Amino acid sequence: MKYLLFLKINRYYLLLDDNLVGAESLKAEVPQAKFFHEEAFEGLENGKLIQWEILKDILDGRVELEHNQYLVCKRSSFFVFSPLRKGLLFARSIPRARKKDWILKKAEEFGETRIAKFEMKRQNALSQRLMGIREDMEDCLEALSDFVLCERYSLWVYNKHTDFFSCMASSKAPKKTYIEQKDEKTFYEFMDSGMEYESRAPAKTISITKGMAWLNRLRLDFGGDDTIGIVSFYSKHPNFELAPKARRYIKNFLELKYIERREESQLALHNIIKDMASYEVGKHDVFLNKLVCSICRELCFEACSIFLKDLEGKHLILTATCDKNHDGPPTEEVIYKLKENSFTGTVFNTGRVLFSHALPTDPRNKHIYDESTEHKPQNWIGIPLVSDNKKWGVLQVKNKYRDTDKREIKNFRPTDFESLYAVRTHLCNILQIEEVHENYVKKNENLLLKSGDLEQKIAVLSNFYQVFMHEIRTPISTFSTSTLVIEQLFSSRTITEEKRQSINNKLDDIKVMGERLEFIANTYQFKRLIRMQEPRRLSVLRDIVLPVFNIAKTYIQKQYDVDIYYIPGTLEDQYVYGDQRLLNMVFNALINNAGKYSSRFEKPISVYGELDKKGTFFYLVVENYGFKIHEDEKEKIFENRYQGREVRGQKLGGTGIGLYLSKEIMKNHKGDLLLTSLNKPITFKIKLPRRNMDGRR
C-alpha cells in the first residue's frame, strides 16, 4: 500500500516520499515539485473520501496517483492520503465506521513514524555538520540554511565603530563586502526598528535575491556591547516563513558561535598585553618593535606601524613597522610633515580614528609610506595615540586577513577595534612613563650643567623620580606575571569553572594595576611639580578622593589586608582650589602610607572632611591605626629622606620622600599638610583653601 505523506513545513506541505531520507544533502533531495502551498489543502477534512481526479487537481498534477480514491487523514502537522481499493469500505464483513477508523489509525501511525525518522535524520545531519565545524561561519550558515530548506543565506555584522555592515558569510559573494547606510537602507531600518524577525518578499533584485521569492531576516545580538548581526535566509517559495522553533535555534546557535569567536580575539589581546608586559623603562624602541609584530600576528593584519611625533610636534616619524619585509625596526627614515595631506597625518591632526574598507578606490588614501603586504592594499585603520589630551602619534594597521588554508583579506570586525583601543590605552600609558623618564634624564643632564640655583630643582626631580619608580614597580611586575598566569590557564585543553574563576581574578588584578598605572602616569607629572597649574575649583569628593579611592581601595585591601572607607556626609558638596593632579598625588601618598603602615593592625583607615572655624580652609583627614610616630619626630617626619623610627625598625621599605614632597606641594597650594595625632589614630590633615588665594576665581 502506498501512502502519500505531506509534512507541514512553514506554510508549505512537503511530500515525504521514499526518496527523501533527510541526510546531509537534504536540500538537493527536495526539488521544488515536492512543495505545496497550504492553501491547496484547505477544505480537506479528516476522514473524507477523495477521488483521484480531485486529488490530482489539488496536487497540481505533480504527483503520480496510482489509486482511484484516497482517505484523508488530517493532523495538525501533516496529511496522509491512504489509497483505497474500490468498494473496500462497503465490504459487509466489517462495519463501515470501524473500518474507516482503523485505516485512519494506520495512516496516522505511518505518518508519525516516518516523520520522526525524517526529523531525526535531519537533526543528526545538522548536528554532525555543525560539530565538525570549528572556524568557519560560512559552513555553519550553509548547514543551517539547508536545515530550514532555504536556498541562500547571508550574515552581515554591524560594526558600531565604523557604522558599516560587514559581510561575514554569504552563499553568493556580494560585489561589496561592506555596506553603508547610503548603499542599502533595509539593514539599517531593520536594525533600528528593534524587530527580531522579518519575513517578506525581497525588496529588489540583486545577485543573491535573483530567483528568490521570499526573505527571512533574523536579528542577532552578540554579547553585551551592542554588536548586532543580521542573518538572512532566502527561499524560492513565496511566504516561506521560518517556524519560531527554528528561528530560536538559529539565533541561539549563531550568537553563541560569535561569542566563541570573540573569546578567541580576547585571547589574542591577552597575548599582545603579555608581550607588552616585557616593557622596561627607557627602552621603548625595543618595546614598540615587538609590539607591532605581535599586533600583526595576534590580530591578523598584514602590516602594522607606529608613528610618533617629534619633539617640536611638527613631524610624524616612523618608529616601528611590521610587514612583509620588516619585523620591527624601520630600514629607512620616514617622516611625515603634519601640514601635508595624508591619511596618517589626518588621524594625528584630527585625533579621530579613520578607516577604509577599500583603499584602492578611497579618494582619501594618500600615503607617503606604504607597507609592503602580501595582498594588494585593501583595508586600513589608523588610530590616534591620544591620552589625557596629549597626542603621541598614530598606530595603523593594514589588510585584515583570515588564516584558513589560503590567506584571504577580510573586513575588520568590531573586536578588532576593541582590541586596538585596549592596546592603545596600554601603549599611551607606557609612552607617558617613557616621556617622564626621558624628561628626567634630560632635565637632570641640563640641570647638572648649570649649577647653583637649580640644585633645589634637581633634588626635587630626583626625589620625584624615585617616588615614581617606586609606584610603578608593582603594577609592572603584576602585568608581567598575571598575564603569564592567564596564558597558562588558557593553554590547557579544558577550561574548568575553577580555572575560569582564576582567569577572572587575574583579569581583575590586571585591571586594578592598569588603573593604577594610568593614574600614576596621569598624575605624576614633572612639569606640574615645577610649575603649578593655575588653581581650579575642585570637588573634594569627585576630584580628589574618588580618583584615589578607585585605584587604591582594592589594592590596599588585597595587599595590606586593611579596609578603607570615607565617612559619608563630611566630603560631599565641598569645594576647594588647587591643582587636581598634585592633590591626587598628595592624597594617594597618605592613603598608601596608611595602608602600608597599618597592615595587620585590623583597624580600617578612615577618611573624612572638616572645616576650620572661619570656614576659610577645608581639612581632608586620613586616619590610621598603624605604627606610632614618636613625639620628637613630629617635625622630622616631613624632612626629606626621613622615615619614622618604628617604620624604619620594621624595615617597611619606602623612600622617605612621600611626606616631604606632599608637604612641599601643599605649601605651594597656600595650604598645608599637618600631623595632628601621633598614635591611635595617626592623623594627617590636608589643609585646602576654599577660596582662590591667587585672587582669581
Partner 1 sequence: MAKVLIIEDDVYLTEDLKFFIEDEGHTCKVYRYADEVMENLNNFGQYDFIILDIMIMRGSRIRDDNTNIETGEIFYKEIREKYRTKKIIIISAKDIEDMTIDFRKEANVEIIEKPLNEKKIKRLLTMLR
- Reported in sequence order, the residue ranges of 27-172 that DSSP labels E, i.e. its strands, are 35-37, 49-51, 69-74, 78-84, 152-159, 164-170
Q: What is the rounded distance in angstroms from the CA atom of residue 3 to the CA atom of residue 103?
A: 11
Nearest-Å Rg of the Cα atoms of the chain is: 36
The window from 25-33, 228-236, 441-449, 651-659 that contacts partner 1 (CB under 8 A) reads 651-659
The secondary structure of residue 542, as a DSSP letter, is I
Which CB sits closer to partner 1, 239 or 679? 679
Which CB sits closer to partner 1, 554 or 640? 554
- In angstroms, what is the minimal distance from the CB of 480 to partner 1? 5
Q: What is the rounded distance in angstroms from the CA atom of residue 408 to the CA atom of residue 138?
A: 14
CB 67 within 8 A of CB 3: no
Which residue in the set 193, 207, 350, 488 belongs to the binding site for partner 1 (CB under 8 A)? 488
* Interaction between residue 351 and partner 1 (CB under 8 A): no
* Interaction between residue 539 and partner 1 (CB under 8 A): no
Which residue in the set 509, 518, 579, 633 belongs to the binding site for partner 1 (CB under 8 A)? 509
* Interaction between residue 599 and partner 1 (CB under 8 A): yes
Which CB sits closer to partner 1, 51 or 481? 481
The window from 264-272, 350-358, 541-549, 649-657 that contacts partner 1 (CB under 8 A) reads 649-657
Could you tell me if residue 470 is left (phi over 0), alpha (psi between -120 and 50 degrees) or otherwise beta?
A: alpha
**How many alpha carbons fall within 13 Å on the CB side of residue 349?**
13
Q: What is the rounded distance in angstroms from the CA atom of residue 478 to the CA atom of residue 471?
A: 12
The window from 70-78, 224-232, 505-513, 587-595 that contacts partner 1 (CB under 8 A) reads 505-513
The window from 252-260, 359-367, 470-478, 572-580 that contacts partner 1 (CB under 8 A) reads 470-478
CB 169 within 8 A of CB 155: yes
Which residue in the set 474, 570, 679, 683 belongs to the binding site for partner 1 (CB under 8 A)? 474
List, in sequence order, the alpha helices (H) in 561-630: 580-597
Which residue in the set 481, 496, 533, 550 belongs to the binding site for partner 1 (CB under 8 A)? 481
Instruction: Annotate 678-693 with b (16+ C-beta within 10 A) or e (fewer).
Output: beebbbbbbbbbbbbe
Which CB sits closer to partner 1, 277 or 292? 277
CB 359 within 8 A of CB 365: yes
- In angstroms, what is the minimal distance from the CB of 371 to partner 1? 29
**What values do phi and psi take at 598, rounded to 5?**
-115, 20
Which CB sits closer to partner 1, 223 or 653? 653
Q: Which residue has the cell 603584576?
A: 478
Which CB sits closer to partner 1, 240 or 279? 279
Which residue in the set 319, 321, 378, 482 belongs to the binding site for partner 1 (CB under 8 A)? 482
Which residue in the set 239, 349, 444, 480 belongs to the binding site for partner 1 (CB under 8 A)? 480
- In angstroms, what is the minimal distance from the CB of 628 to partner 1? 14
* Interaction between residue 294 and partner 1 (CB under 8 A): no
Cis, peptide link before residue 689, omega less than 30° from 0: no
* Interaction between residue 607 and partner 1 (CB under 8 A): no
The window from 272-280, 381-389, 417-425, 606-614 that contacts partner 1 (CB under 8 A) reads 272-280
Q: What 3-state DSSP class applies to 167?
A: strand
Which residue in the set 477, 496, 501, 533 belongs to the binding site for partner 1 (CB under 8 A)? 477
Q: How many residues of this chain interact with partner 1, rule: CB under 8 A?
A: 28
* Interaction between residue 277 and partner 1 (CB under 8 A): yes
Which residue in the set 352, 648, 667, 680 belongs to the binding site for partner 1 (CB under 8 A)? 648
* Interaction between residue 554 and partner 1 (CB under 8 A): no
Contacts 24+ apart (CB under 8 A), 638-646: 638/663, 638/673, 638/675, 640/459, 640/463
Q: What is the rounded distance in angstroms from the CA atom of residue 398 to the CA atom of residue 410?
A: 11
* Interaction between residue 653 and partner 1 (CB under 8 A): yes
* Interaction between residue 507 and partner 1 (CB under 8 A): no
Q: What is the rounded distance in angstroms from the CA atom of residue 685 to the CA atom of residue 680?
A: 15
* Interaction between residue 679 and partner 1 (CB under 8 A): no
* Interaction between residue 503 and partner 1 (CB under 8 A): no
The window from 321-329, 386-394, 479-487, 526-534 that contacts partner 1 (CB under 8 A) reads 479-487
* Interaction between residue 692 and partner 1 (CB under 8 A): no
Contacts of 502 (CB under 8 A, 6+ apart): 485, 489
CB 687 within 8 A of CB 635: no
Binding site for partner 1 (CB under 8 A): 274, 277-278, 473-474, 476-478, 480-482, 484-485, 488, 502, 506, 509, 513, 558-559, 599-600, 648-653
